[in-house]
Amino acid sequence: MDEPQRYRLTLTTTGDGTVMDGRWADLATALRKFRSWIGSYGSMPGARIELAVQAADDTWIELRAWADGNA
């Protein structure tokens, strides 16, 4: 059986809302992807990249976030 995809990455921009998202079961993979997305998409105007974990009540809790201009 597949592991639940507990970790979510979301890329949003101020003009377009959610541009893309991805989900992973493993925190180490999600953190690696978080850093990769900053390198790949962080220069987009108004970009915000958020890493969140799904709680037992199905809400999402932000673990890390990066926004355009944080460099």
**Would you state the pLDDT for residue 3?**
73
pTM of the model: 0.86
Q: Is 23 helix (H, G, I), strand (E, B) or coil?
A: strand
Asked, for residue 23, whether it belongs to a domain, the answer is: yes
Asked, for residue 16, whether it belongs to a domain, the answer is: yes
Asked, for residue 48, whether it belongs to a domain, the answer is: yes
Asked, for residue 2, whether it belongs to a domain, the answer is: no
Asked, for residue 34, whether it belongs to a domain, the answer is: yes
Domain count along the chain: 1
Report how far residue 24's alpha carbon sits from residue 5's, in angstroms, rounded to the nearest whole number: 5
Reported as type and span, the H/E element at residue 30 is: helix 27-41
Asked if residue 71 has pLDDT above 50, the reply is no
Backbone region of residue 46 per phi and psi (left: phi > 0; alpha: psi in -120 to 50; beta: other values):
left
pLDDT tens-digit map of 15-64: 888 999 999 999 999 999 999 999 999 988 899 999 999 999 999 999 99
Asked, for residue 1, whether it belongs to a domain, the answer is: no
**Would you state the pLDDT for residue 16?**
83
Residue 60 belongs to domain spanning: 7-67
